[in-house]
C-alpha cells in the first residue's frame, strides 16, 4: 500500500515530496489549494488532521504531521538519508533537522507577517533583518566548510533546510553575498529527485 501525502501548494510539504522521490518510495498525493485571498489552508485539511496543516503523511494506520518528525520516521523506515556517522555527523544531522523549523522559519514567518502591515511593518522588518542575517551568516559559514549540512553526504537535514533557505531568497535578502549557500541551493535544485517532486507537487514559487 503506497504512502499518502496530504500536500498543500506553495508550502513546506514540497520537502516531503522531494524526500520521497530521493527514497524512491511509492506514494500518492492528495492535493489542497490555499485560499486565494487569505492564503490559508482550506478547511478540508482539518478533516485529515485536527491541526488543519500540511504535510500529513499516512502510512497504513500511521498518521503523522510535522515535517521533521515525518523525515525521522522515513529515515527509520528505510535506513536511508540519515547521518553518515554516529559522531560529529550525527550531531550536525540532529541539529539542522530541528534548526530549520525551530530557529530559521519563525524569523522568516515574522518578516512575512510584518510585510503585510503598511508603514509599521517596514520599520519592523528593518529591525528583524539583522537577526535573520545572524542565521544566514551562520549557515553560510557551515556550508563553506562542507558540501552538506551533516557532512559529506546529503541527508534529511538538507531536505529540512531547503524550504527556509528557498524562502529566504525571496523574503530575507539571501543572495550572491553568501555564495556557499547559493551554491547549495543550486545543487539541490539540480537533483533529479527534486525536479521530479516539482513536477508532481504543482505550484511552488520558491525553487
Q: Mind giving me the DSSP string for the chain?
A: --EEEEEETTSTTHHHHHHHHHHT--EEEEEE---TTT-PPPTTHHHH-TT--S-EEEETTEEEESHHHHHHHHHHHHS-SS-SSSSHHHHHHHHHHHHIIIIIHHHHHHHHHHHTSTTHHHHHHHHHHHHHHHHHHHHHHHHHSSSSSSSSS--HHHHHHHHHHHHHHHHS--STTSHHHHHHHHHHHTSHHHHHHHHHH---TT-
Count the residues in the chain. Answer: 207
Give residues with Cβ within 8 angstroms of 8, minimum separation 6: 32, 33, 34, 41, 45, 53, 54, 55
pLDDT of residue 76: 97
pLDDT surpassing 90 at residue 49: yes
pLDDT of residue 74: 98
pLDDT surpassing 80 at residue 205: yes
pLDDT of residue 109: 87
Q: What is the average per-residue pLDDT within 22-41?
A: 93
Of the candidates 22, 41, 39, 21, the one whose C-alpha atom is nearest the C-alpha of residue 31 is 41
Average pLDDT over the chain reads 94
pLDDT surpassing 80 at residue 138: yes
pLDDT of residue 115: 78
pLDDT surpassing 80 at residue 119: no
pLDDT surpassing 90 at residue 186: yes
Q: How far is CA 115 from CA 55, 122, 146, 172, 176, in A?
A: 25, 6, 34, 11, 23
pLDDT surpassing 90 at residue 22: yes
Q: What is the pLDDT of residues 59-96, one digit of tens each?
A: 999 999 999 999 999 999 999 999 988 899 999 999 99
Of the candidates 151, 143, 40, the one whose C-alpha atom is nearest the C-alpha of residue 94 is 151
In order of their start, the domains of the chain are 3-81+193-201 (3.40.30.10), 88-191 (1.20.1050.10)
Distance between CA atoms of residues 194 and 115, nearest Å: 29
Amino acid at each position: 500500500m503506497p504512502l499518502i501525502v496530504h500536500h498543500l501548494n506553495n508550502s513546506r510539504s514540497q520537502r516531503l515530496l522531494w524526500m520521497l522521490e530521493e527514497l524512491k518510495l511509492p506514494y500518492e498525493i492528495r492535493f489542497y489549494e490555499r485560499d486565494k485571498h487569505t492564503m490559508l489552508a482550506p478547511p478540508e485539511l482539518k478533516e485529515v488532521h485536527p491541526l488543519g496543516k500540511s504535510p500529513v503523511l499516512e502510512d497504513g494506520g500511521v498518521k503523522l504531521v510535522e515535517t521533521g518528525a515525518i523525515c525521522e520516521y522515513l529515515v527509520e523506515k528505510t535506513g536511508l538519508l540519515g547521518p553518515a556517522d554516529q559522531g560529529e555527523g550525527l550531531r550536525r544531522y540532529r541539529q539542522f533537522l530541528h534548526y530549520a523549523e525551530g530557529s530559521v522559519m519563525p524569523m522568516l514567518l515574522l518578516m512575512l507577517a510584518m510585510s503585510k502591515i503598511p508603514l509599521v511593518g517596514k520599520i519592523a522588518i528593518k529591525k528583524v533583518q539583522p537577526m535573520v542575517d545572524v542565521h544566514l551568516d551562520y549557515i553560510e559559514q557551515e556550508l563553506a566548510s562542507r558540501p552538506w549540512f551533516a557532512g559529506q553526504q546529503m541527508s534529511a537535514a538538507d531536505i529540512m533546510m531547503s524550504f527556509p533557505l528557498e524562502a529566504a531568497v525571496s523574503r530575507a535578502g539571501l543572495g550572491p553575498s553568501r555564495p556557499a549557500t547559493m551554491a547549495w541551493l543550486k545543487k539541490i535544485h539540480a537533483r533529479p529527485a527534486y525536479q521530479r517532486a516539482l513536477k508532481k507537487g504543482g505550484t511552488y514559487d520558491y525553487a
